[in-house]
Structure 1
Amino acid sequence: MPSSILESLDDVPTWAILAGGATAILFGMYLFPYLVTYSSLRDIPGPTLAKFSHVWLFKVQKSGHRSLTVDELHRKHGTFVRLQPDHISIAADAAIKPIYGHTAGLVKSKFYDSFATAARNLFNVRNKADHTRKRKMMAHGFALRTVQEFEPYMAEILQQFVKQWDRLVDEAASRNMEPSFDSLEWFNYVAFDMIGDLAFGKPFGMVEAGADIARLQDTPTSKPEYAPAVQIINRRGEIVSTLAIIPELMPWAHWIPDPFFSKGVEARANLTRIGIASVRERLTHPPTDARADLLSRLQQAKDDKGNPLGADELTAEALGLIVGGSDTTSNSSCAVMYYLTKHPDVLRRLREELAEAIPEGTEVPSWEMVKNLPYLEKVLNETHRIHSTLGQGLPREVGPSGITVCGRYFPPGVTLSVPSYTIHHDEDIWGRDAMQFNPDRWDSLTQRQKEAFIPFSVGPRACIGRNVAEMEMKLILATWANRYDTTLREELVCHEGFFRKPNSLMVSIRRRP
C-alpha cells in the first residue's frame, strides 16, 4: 500500500502538492480558529483580517496609532470590536470591574511575554501567585509615607531644572530673544533623574548635563558604555508592544529586514543593560547619606517564606522602575504644558491658586505647599483623562469557567480588554464636551465618572507607582507654571508604543515677573 501511494504521488504535479500543503496550513492557522475554536465570536464586528489573523493588530500597533484606531472602530461598531481572532475590545465602563477588578478571575495574556527579560517583574508577571508575592514585597516602598521621604531629592533635581531654564532665558535675553526648545526633552531629563534618584540613590545626571545619556553594562562585571536612554526606551516600547501581538516572532525579529525591528531588538537589549548598570552602580557605590532608596528596600524585602528577591529579579524590577517611573511622568508633564498653554484662562486660575500657596521668591515649591491644591488636582486629572498616556486596552485572558461581560458570555481562552482612551472620551460618560479640556468637570463627578477614570488601571494589577507619579507631576507642574510663561511653537502630535507619547513640544519661555 505505501509503495502504491508513493507511486501515485509521482503523478501529482509539484504545484498541486505545494498548493495542497499551503491550503492545509492556511486552514489550520486561520480558518479552523475562525470556524471552530472561536466560532462564538463570529458575529462580533471588526476588520475582516482581524477575525482570521493577528496580522491586522500587529500592523496597527506598529503604526503607532492603536488607541485612535480602536476608538474609531468602537465609534463605528459599538461596544464590542474584534481586534484579533481571540481578542475582543469592550468599550464600556461596565466592563472595567469584571475584567480588571479585585474579584475578576482573568489573568494577564501572553501579550506580556515580550516585555519579560531574564526574570519577570511586577508588570509582566502573569501568574497570580507570583504577582501577589512580588506586590507584597514591594508595596511598602511605594506607600505614600515612604514616597514623601524622597521629596528633598526631587527638590534638588527641580532646582537644577530651574537653573537650566533660567540659563536658557538669560542667554536668549542677551540676544534680545526668547529661548525656543523641545520641552519634552527636559521633562524626560527630569523624570529620568527623579526615578534614578528614588530607585538607585543617584540621578542619571541628565538635567545637569542637559542631555539624554545613561550607563549600560552587559554583565555586572563588564566595562560600562553610554547611550541615549530616552531613545532606547521609546524604541523598546514600540518593538515589545508590536511583537507582543505575535510573540512567536520574538526569536526571529532581528532577522526581519526592517530597521524598526532590528533597532527595536537592539533597544530592548540595551534597556536590560541599563538595568544591569543601574543595579551594579547602586550596589558597588551606595549613597553617602542614609537614605533608603527603592532598590535597598527591595533588597531587604522578604516573601512569606522568608526568601528575598533574586539577582535577576532585582534587575527585572529595576527595569520596571526605569520605564514605569520615567516615560509616563514625562509624557503627562509634556501634555499638561500643552493643554495649559492652549487654555490661558485655565493656566491663569492655576497660577492664582499657586500664588496663594507658594511664598513669593520660592523657586521650587515644597510638597506641603502643593499636595492638597484642588485646582492643581483637577488640571492633572483632566490631563490624564484627555491625553490618556496609557490609552490601549490591557489584555486579560478568560479563565476556565468563562465570563459574562456586558450581557455577553465569553468562553475560556478568549482575551478581553477595555480601551482606556475610548472610555476617557466617551460622551455618554463625560458629556458632549468629552473631547474638550475642561478641568471644571471635576467639580461634580458622578459615581460613574469616578469609576470610569482609569489612568493607572484598577484592581490588583493597578500601577504600584501611582503615589510617586502624582507627587512628581504636582511638583514639576507647580515649579514651571509658577515661574515661566510659555508660548506654543507647534501642536501636540502623539505616537504610540506601549504608551501614547508626544513626538515633541516646541515652546518658547520667559521668566514671569
Structure 2
Amino acid sequence: MSSSSLGASSYAAAIGVFALVYFFVYPVVVYFKDSKGLRKFPNMSPFSGMSNVPFMILAHGGARSTHLAKLHKKQPILRTGPNTLSFGSVLAIKDIYGHGTPCLKDESYIITAGSHYHLADVIDRGDHARKRRVLSAAYAIKNLQEWEFKVVDKVERLFKKFDSCCTDPLPKGQLYPDPKDVNIDYRQWTNYFTLDAITDIGLSESLGLLDRGHDIVTARRPDGTTFETHIRGALYPTARKQSLLIWSYQYYKLLDRLSNIIPFYRRMSRSAIHWEAIVAHCSSKRLARYQAGEKQDDFFQSLMENKNGGANNLPWGEVVAEVNIMMNAGSVTTAIAVTNVLYALLKHPKALSRLREEVDAVLEPNEIVAPYSKVKNLPYLRACLDESLRLQPPTPHGLPRKTPPEGLRIMGEYVPGNTTVSISALVAHRDESVFKEAEKYIPERWLGEEGKSLQSAFIAFSTGGRGCIGRNITYLEQIILIASLVHRYEFALPKGFELQRLETMNHILGEMPVKIWRRSS
C-alpha cells in the first residue's frame, strides 16, 4: 500500500474516531455527569437525555404532540432532549407563558429568522414592545367593523363557487352521498378564502384565488423579474422542513444545508424561496401604491405610519418580515380552524343542529352572509369554535421558551437556567383535571360560568405578553364564515372519511371532500 493510501486511511480513521467520540461517547459522558441536574426528569425515550435525534425521529412521524399527550398521562414532565423539557399539566402555562414570566423565546426563533425579525420571532423584550406598539393599531378591535366588509366580500365570492356546486339533497334516510356528488374540497376553498381575506385586510388587495379557482400567483425575484407559482405549494413546506430538523439547534444550519442533497428536503427549501418571492411581490406592489399617495385603512398603512400620520421609518426588510408573518400565520391557522370546526360539526350532528337553531334565530332566511353584529355574541357559535380549537389547535406544538439564568420553578419543580421548556397546546387541552372527557367534542363545556373558568387553560392562541395579536381577526373570519355556512348549506362527508392531519409547526390538513346543497327554507 502506498504512503498516500496509508495517509488517507489514517485520516479517515481519525475522522471516524472523532465522530464516534463527539457524537456518541461525549453525549453519554455529559448525560451521566448531569451538571445541570436534568437527569431527575424522565426521558421521553431511552436516549432523549443524550441526543435530540429521538425527537427528530418523532417529528418525522407527523404527530409528535399526540404522542406526547399519551406519554404525559403518566409523566407530567418529560425530557425530550439533552436540554429540553416538555410539560403536561395546565399548571405549567402561567409559569412558562404567563404575564410576568421571566422566560424568553429560545434560540430556535433566532436560527429560523430571516434578515429581520417579525413580531412572532423577535426575542428581545424591548424590541417586541416596540413592534407591538406599532402593530397594535392594525390589530385593534375597533378595526373589526371597518374590515368586516372585506370578509363579507370573500364569503360572497366563496359562496358563488359553492352555489355552482350544489347538488340535490340527500334522499331521506340516506346517510352518505353518491361519490359523483362529492364535488368540493372544502379544505382547498377555505384556504383560498383565508389567503384572499388576509391579503385584503393587510394590503387592501385580494389575491383573487376565489375568483380564479386556483392558487397560481405572481412572485418577484430579487432582480425585479417575476414568475408564476402555486401559493399553497410555497406556503406549507418551509414550516414542515423546519419542524423536522430544528430540534438540534447547534446543528440546524448544517443539517438544513446537508439535507438539500435529498430531493425530499430540497423541494421544501425551494418552496421557501417561492414563498418569499410571493411576499416580496405583494409588498412591493403595496409600497408603490403607498408612494403614489394611496391611503388605506390596512395593516400596511399601520406599518408605514402611526395613528397620527407620522412615519414609523421601519427598515424595508422589517416591513416585509411583518407582511410575511401576517400572510402566513394570518391565513394558515384560520384555514385550519374553519376546516376543523365544520368537520367536527358534521361528525356531531346534534351540535350542528343546535348551532343552526341559534344562528337561524337571529338571521333572516334570505340573508346570505351573517352580519357580524348579529352573530358575534352567539354563545353556542363561540363554544363550537373554541371547542374545535381546543380539540385540534391549529398550532399544536409546544412553543419553546428559555428559563432565566437563575432557573425557575415550573409546576413547583425547579428547572435549571437556560433550559428550553414548553407545553403543547394539544397536550394542555387534554388535561383531564380541567377538560373532562378531553378527547370528545363537547361545545357545551364552554357555556356559562364553567366555560369562563376554562379560559386560563385555553392556549390555542398562546397566552401572556406573547399571545397571538391576530386573534380578533381570526374570530371575525371564523364567526362570519361558519354562521353563514350552517345557515345556507347542508354538507355530507363520504362514508368512512377521516380528516388527515400532519403536524409541522402547525397542522397541515389533507383534503376534505364534501357534498354540498342548499338548505330548504
Q: Is the 8 A contact 2:56 2:245 kept in 1?
A: yes
Partner of 1:237: 239
Partner of 1:202: 205
Unaligned stretches of 5+ residues in structure 1: 1-9
Partner of 2:512: 505
Q: Is the 8 A contact 2:167 2:516 kept in 1?
A: no
Q: Distance in 1 between matches of 2:392 and 2:342?
A: 12
Q: Distance in 1 between matches of 2:123 and 2:470?
A: 19
Partner of 1:211: 214
The alignment-based identity, stated in percent, is 27
Q: Distance in 2 between matches of 1:488 and 1:179?
A: 8
Q: Is the 8 A contact 1:138 1:301 kept in 2?
A: no
For residues 348 and 249 of structure 1, do their structure 2 counterparts lie closer, same or farther at Cα, with a shift above 3 Å needed? same
Unaligned stretches of 5+ residues in structure 2: 1-6, 171-177
Q: Distance in 2 between matches of 1:19 and 1:241?
A: 29
Asked whether 1:90 is paired with 2:87, we answer yes
Summarize the alignment of residues 111-510 of structure 1 with structure 2, pairs less than 5 Å apart. Answer: 111-169=108-166, 178-219=181-222, 222-247=224-249, 248-250=251-253, 253-256=256-259, 257-285=261-289, 291-301=296-306, 308-431=313-436, 433-443=437-447, 444-445=449-450, 449-489=454-494, 490-510=497-517
Q: Distance in 2 between matches of 1:316 and 1:302?
A: 21
Question: Which range moved further: 259-268 or 79-88?
Answer: 259-268
Q: Distance in 1 between matches of 2:12 and 2:303?
A: 61
Secondary structure of the residue that 1:149 maps to in structure 2? Answer: helix
Q: TM-score, normalised by structure 1?
A: 0.91
Secondary structure of the residue that 1:154 maps to in structure 2? Answer: helix
Deviation at 1:465, TM superposition (A): 0.2
Q: Distance in 2 between matches of 1:316 and 1:300?
A: 16
Deviation at 1:43, TM superposition (A): 2.5
Q: Distance in 2 between matches of 1:38 and 1:419?
A: 27
Q: Distance in 2 between matches of 1:62 and 1:268?
A: 19
* Code of the aligned partner of 1:87: T
Q: Distance in 2 between matches of 1:342 and 1:145?
A: 35
Q: Is the 8 A contact 2:167 2:515 kept in 1?
A: no
Deviation at 1:127, TM superposition (A): 1.5
- Deviation string for 1:191-213 (max 9, x for gaps)? 00000101111111111111122
For residues 306 and 296 of structure 1, do their structure 2 counterparts lie closer, same or farther at Cα, with a shift above 3 Å needed? closer
Q: TM-score, normalised by structure 2?
A: 0.90
Secondary structure of the residue that 1:504 maps to in structure 2? Answer: coil
- Deviation string for 1:319-373 (max 9, x for gaps)? 1001111010110101111111111111111111111111121111111121111
* Relative contact order higher in (CA < 8 Å, ≥ 6 apart): 2
Deviation at 1:167, TM superposition (A): 1.1
Deviation at 1:222, TM superposition (A): 0.9
Partner of 1:21: 18
Q: Specify which of 35, 40, 49 is matched with residue 37 of structure 2.
A: 40
Secondary structure of the residue that 2:334 maps to in structure 1? Answer: helix
Q: Distance in 1 between matches of 2:394 and 2:373?
A: 27
Secondary structure of the residue that 2:450 maps to in structure 1? Answer: coil
Q: Is the 8 A contact 1:100 1:458 kept in 2?
A: yes
Question: Which range moved further: 358-367 or 240-249?
Answer: 240-249
Q: Is the 8 A contact 2:383 2:446 kept in 1?
A: yes
Partner of 1:6: none
Q: Is the 8 A contact 2:401 2:421 kept in 1?
A: yes
* Code of the aligned partner of 1:59: I
Deviation at 1:37, TM superposition (A): 5.5
Q: Is the 8 A contact 1:492 1:505 kept in 2?
A: yes
Q: Is the 8 A contact 2:303 2:312 kept in 1?
A: no
Deviation at 1:138, TM superposition (A): 0.5
Deviation at 1:240, TM superposition (A): 2.1
Partner of 2:3: none
Q: Specify which of 56, 68, 73 is matched with residue 66 of structure 2.
A: 68
Deviation at 1:243, TM superposition (A): 3.0
Partner of 1:5: none
Q: Is the 8 A contact 1:201 1:291 kept in 2?
A: yes
* Code of the aligned partner of 1:203: S
- Number of matched residues? 499
* Code of the aligned partner of 2:153: E
* Code of the aligned partner of 2:108: F
Q: Is the 8 A contact 1:217 1:274 kept in 2?
A: yes
Q: Distance in 2 between matches of 1:448 and 1:363?
A: 35
Q: Distance in 2 between matches of 1:68 and 1:368?
A: 37
Deviation at 1:146, TM superposition (A): 1.5
Question: Which range moved further: 35-44 or 195-204?
Answer: 35-44
- Deviation string for 1:490-511 (max 9, x for gaps)? 2112111111232121111111
Backbone CA RMSD of aligned residues: 2.7
- Deviation string for 1:422-456 (max 9, x for gaps)? 1111222111x211111111124266522111110
Secondary structure of the residue that 1:428 maps to in structure 2? Answer: coil
* Code of the aligned partner of 2:216: I
Deviation at 1:70, TM superposition (A): 1.4
Deviation at 1:389, TM superposition (A): 1.3
- Deviation string for 1:217-254 (max 9, x for gaps)? 123x6122221112211111201222321343335524
Q: Distance in 1 between matches of 2:34 and 2:493?
A: 52
Secondary structure of the residue that 1:40 maps to in structure 2? Answer: coil
